[in-house]
Structure 1
Amino acid sequence: MDDFAMHYGHWGWVLVAVLIASWLLYRFVAPRSWREWMGAGLVQAFIIALYAEMYGFPLTIYLLTGFLGIDLPLTGFSGHLWATLLGYGSTGAMLEMLLGGVFILVGLVLLIRGWVQVYRASLEGRLATQGVYGLVRHPQYTGIMLAVFGQIVHWPTVITLLLFPVIIFAYVRLARREESALAERFGEAYQAYRQSVPKFFPRLQDWRGFLRSLLFAHQD
């Protein structure tokens, strides 16, 4: 019980984690329209809910133990719910953390790489088709989805599990609206691009190039 109590109640850590994650979000998503702000706001709510439970108050654990009567070991690793509920203990929790971390890292790299390509294209007044945009049409949104999914793997909570499908739905709709606007602006050039490049995830034969684009910045 002492270990469990020592792990939580660190609201200063919550504040620092939320500020850092929020800065990354708004810096590289750079929302402009109200729909983009709404999507970013949902991710912001996800971030707050995540770190409030990770370091502040473990609401999900209390709900599971108090209302559903699930017997959970009250340790610092209990927040790794998949491993805890399946009985994999601290080893499972560490593996869960590593797996979630891979998704989070790939998502952040996609978010940043996508922002760089959009920024360069906007300066030149052209359609972004280089780098990761040559493999998927919405790498930034894919990055957000992967990063959010990684956190679900790493540290699931009731609120973040509820927010996850809402975030996916919001960005799928946002991508659809953006494509309509781009088709109007770039005409046949965008139609050709849309037909040749997948929306969120690369084709099977393109995964090697996709992973390479994450490791090495495109210089075009």
Structure 2
Amino acid sequence: MADATYGLWPLVVLNTLLFIVFAASFFHPKTQRDWRAMGAYSAFLVALFTEMYGIPLTDYLLGSWLGPRFPLLKDTHAGGHLWNDVTGWSGDPHLSPFHLASYVAIGTGFWSSPAATPCAPSRERRSPECCRSTPPQAKSGTTAGTETSLR
């Protein structure tokens, strides 16, 4: 590896075990369903930390296919920005149009999440005025499995 930011497999193992033990200290699986949920969480952590410290999945899957065509595709952080290599962007990968568009998309998501919160159902309040659209049952004339005639 040309860059010290990838290939840190002991860090992958350490972080994965640390997070699994931390979760297991609060969530004590008892049933088969609990163990399945804990296994899914553990698999997510393995994938997350492998992507962060081991090798990015896109580099792993596309590296042998795109490697001869794009010499900049290396096992470095800058080499992981595939769109820059494909389009020929030669500047800082974090200032490319693709990265800037992703910043805007992330900011839009942060902005829209609290904006949608008043319409989310809650146990305390269920008022129809907080919803912006009419439910499909009211439009079709059916409610709770019973049909009414529209005359």
**What's the TM-score, normalizing by structure 1?**
0.36
Q: Identify the structure with the greater helix proportion.
A: 1
**What's the TM-score, normalizing by structure 2?**
0.49
Whichever of the two has the greater Rg, that structure is 2
